[in-house]
Structure 1
Amino acid sequence: MDVITMGETMVLFTPTKEGMLRYANQFEKTYGGAEMNVAIALARLNHEVAWISKVGNDEFGKGITAYIRGEGVDTSQVLVDEEAPTGVFFKEIRRADDMRIHYYRKGSAASKLNATDVNEDFVSNAKYVHISGITPALSDSAEEAIWQLISIAKKHEIPIVFDPNVRKKLWSESKARQVLTNIAKEATIVMPGVAEGKFLFNEDDPKKIAEKFIGNGAKLVITKVGADGAYYTSKDEHVHVPGIKVDRVVDPVGAGDGFAAGFLSGQLDSLSVYESVKRANLVGALATMVKGDVEGMPEKEELLKYSQDTFEDVSR
C-alpha cells in the first residue's frame, strides 16, 4: 500500500443557484472530506491508497463507501456504525467570492472512530501515512484513533505526512493548538498554509512558520502560499516553488488536498522534492478549475500532458 489516510467523508449538498441557503430549493448531492479527497486524487494518479473511516448503516454511508471504492481506493478498513448516522454538510454560495460551509456532523459515525478501529497489520504495509488535523477534532475517541495510527507508523518507521487543516468550528482554539502542535512533533512532513502558521505560531512569514515546525521535530515543511505556490524547508534549505496561474478559480475547496496528493505522488514516483512540490502546485491548481471537491483531480495521463507551458508560471 502506498498511502493510508483516515478521516470522515460526509454527504455534500450544494444549491443549484447562488444566494442565501434559506432560498435554495434544489441541490446537487456529492461527497466531501479532506482525507477522501487526498485518497481519490492519489488513486487517479495510479497509486495504491486506502481510506480508514466509519459510516452509518444508512443509504448515505453505503453511497459514500461505494463511491470511494469505485474511484479505486481500498475501503476494506471502513467500518459501519449501527447507531450513528453518516454526517452531512451544505455548501452555501452567496456569490462568486463568498462561499460558506455548514456542517451537520456532531455525533456522526466517523466521530465514533476509536483506537481499536486501526488495524496494525494493515497499516504496517504502508509507504506513507497521511493525517489531517480534522480527524482529531471530531471527538476524543477519534483523536485516540489518530494517536494509534501515529504510534503504528512510528513503530514501523513509516513517514507521517501531516496537513494541520484547522477547523475552528469543531473545537476550541486552545485545544486545537495543543493537539495539532503535538501531532506535528511526530510528523515527518508537515504541510501548513500561511493561515495555519498564523493560528498555531502567530507567524505569517513562510520561513518562520517552517522554522517553528522544524524546531518542533518535522524533517520537511512545505508551506503553501496560494497562487504564489509553496516553499519547502528543511534544516539545510528554504526553496520557493512558483505556483500555477489560474485565470478563473471555480471552486477552491479541495485545492489543499490536491496539493498533498500531488506531493505524495511525486515522492512515490521518485521525483525530487522540488519536482514533487511542482506537481503538488499543478494538481492543486487543476482542482480549483472544476466545481466540486474531487471532480477536478486529474488522472495520471492528464497530469503528465500539462507543463509550465500550459499554465503560466506566476513568477514570470
Structure 2
Amino acid sequence: MTTPPARRRVATLGETMALARSRDIGSLRHASDLVLGIGGAESNVAIALSRLGLDAAWLGRVGDDPLGERVVREVRAEGVDVLAIVDSGAPTGLMLKERPRPSSMRVLYYRAGSAGSRLSPADVPDGWIERADLLHLTGITALLSESAREALSVAIERARSAGATVAFDINYRSSLAAPALAGPWLRDLAERADVVFGGPEEFELLYPGTDGVAACERLLRSGPTEAVLKRGADGATTVLRTGAVASPGFVVDVVDTVGAGDAFVAGYLSALLEGADVEARLHRANVCGAMLCMTPGDWESSPTLREVEQFTASAGDPVLR
C-alpha cells in the first residue's frame, strides 16, 4: 500500500467580495435577473488549489453583513481553511459583471471603504504564515490601501524568515491606482518574491520602457528566481536565469475570462509544490486557465486533477468519453 503524498499548505490573504452577474447579454441597465456569488483573486487561487489536492488557507476581512457571511461560507465550503476578520465598521465589497456583447465582459467594483480594504498587519496572527510552505499574494490587495500594502510587506518578511516560498501575481487594476503610483509599489513587492506572475503589460508596468520578456529578465536580476509571463490563449512562458521555457495555450469556447489568471496561477503553483518541472507546471497552468474560461463565474469551474488529466487526454475535446 502506497502512502499518499503529503498535502502542502499554501497561505494567501486579500479581499473577497460579493459578486452579482447578469444572466443575459446586454447592459446591466436592462438586466432583470442577477446571479449572486463571490469572487476575489486570492480566494479564487485558494479554492483552485484545494480542488487540485493542496491544503490552502485564506485570510481576509469581511463586513458584519449577509454578504460577508456568504463569502466565508462559500470559501470554507470549498475545503479552504478560512480565517475571516469580521469588521462591524465597514461593508463587504461588491463586484458586478455584465456582458455588453457576447465576446466581452465588463466588471464594476464597489469596494471603496470596504472591510477588505482595511486589512492590516495586525490581522495576521503569529504562526499563520509561518506554517505555510508557500505564501501567495497579489497586486490587487497592495493597491487597496496603505494598511493593506503594509500587511503584504510584513507577510513577505515573515514568510521569508520562515523559509517559505513567496509567489506574487502582479494583477494590476487601473481602477485602484494610476500606473505612475502602482508601478513602484508593485515592483517593490515583486522584487521580494520568488515566483512572479503577470501579463506582458504588467511586467512592463514594473519597468517602463521594456517589453515583457526584457522586463522579466530585469526582474530576475533583482531577486526572484522565475517570472511567469501569461499570454492567455497564446500560452505562457517561464523566464529563468538560465533561459526561457514556453508552452502553448488551448483554443476553447470562451464564456468568461474573469478568474482565468487565478486558475492559471493555481495550476502552476500546485505543480511547483509537487516538484514538477517547468514544462509540466506551464502545461497544468494553461489547462486550468482554459477550463476556467469555458463557464460563467470566477472560480466555479476550476478543475480537479482528474479533470485536468481528462482535458489533457482529450486534447481539449469538450466531449469526454
Task: Please report the TM-score for the alignment, with normalisation by the length of structure 2.
Answer: 0.93
Q: How many angstroms does 1:28 deviate by?
A: 0.7
1:78-227 aligned within 5 A: 78-202=84-208, 205-227=211-233
Q: How many angstroms does 1:203 deviate by?
A: 5.5
1:62 corresponds, among 59, 69, 73, to 69
Moved more, 61-70 or 200-209: 200-209
Matched, 1:71 2:78: yes
Does the 8 A contact of 1:193 with 1:224 survive in 2? yes
Query: Any idea what SS the aligned residue of 1:90 has?
Result: strand
- Tell me the alpha carbon deviations over residues 58-96 of structure 1, each in whole angstroms, 9 at most, x when there is no partner: 100011101100000000x21100111000011121012
Q: How many angstroms does 1:205 deviate by?
A: 4.0
Partner of 1:259: 264
Partner of 2:237: 231
Q: How many angstroms does 1:235 deviate by?
A: 1.0
Moved more, 178-187 or 167-176: 167-176
Moved more, 123-132 or 189-198: 189-198
Partner of 1:273: 278
Moved more, 203-212 or 40-49: 203-212
Residues 256 and 159 (structure 1 numbering): CA distance in 2 closer, same or farther, change over 3 Å?
same
Matched, 1:303 2:308: yes
Does the 8 A contact of 2:236 with 2:246 survive in 1? yes
Does the 8 A contact of 1:219 with 1:234 survive in 2? yes
Q: How many angstroms does 1:204 deviate by?
A: 6.8
Distance (Å, rounded) in 1 between the aligned partners of 2:206 and 2:128: 32
Q: How many angstroms does 1:3 deviate by?
A: 0.6
Partner of 1:289: 294
Distance (Å, rounded) in 1 between the aligned partners of 2:184 and 2:203: 14
* Corresponding letter in the other structure for 1:50: A
- The list of structure 1 runs, each at least 4 consecutive aligned residues, that deviate by more than 3 angstroms after superposition, is 202-206
Does the 8 A contact of 2:201 with 2:212 survive in 1? no
Query: Any idea what SS the aligned residue of 2:105 has?
Result: strand
Q: Which stretches in structure 1 are left out of the alignment for 5+ residues? A: none
Q: Count residues in correspondence.
A: 310
Query: Any idea what SS the aligned residue of 2:98 has?
Result: strand
Does the 8 A contact of 2:245 with 2:278 survive in 1? no
Q: How many angstroms does 1:311 deviate by?
A: 2.2
* Corresponding letter in the other structure for 1:298: P
Q: How many angstroms does 1:208 deviate by?
A: 1.1
Matched, 1:4 2:11: yes
Distance (Å, rounded) in 2 between the aligned partners of 1:198 and 1:182: 14
Q: How many angstroms does 1:105 deviate by?
A: 0.5
Moved more, 204-213 or 5-14: 204-213
Moved more, 276-285 or 298-307: 298-307
2:22 corresponds, among 12, 15, 35, to 15
Partner of 1:50: 57
Moved more, 209-218 or 78-87: 209-218
Distance (Å, rounded) in 1 between the aligned partners of 2:92 and 2:212: 37
Distance (Å, rounded) in 1 between the aligned partners of 2:71 and 2:126: 24
* Corresponding letter in the other structure for 1:74: D
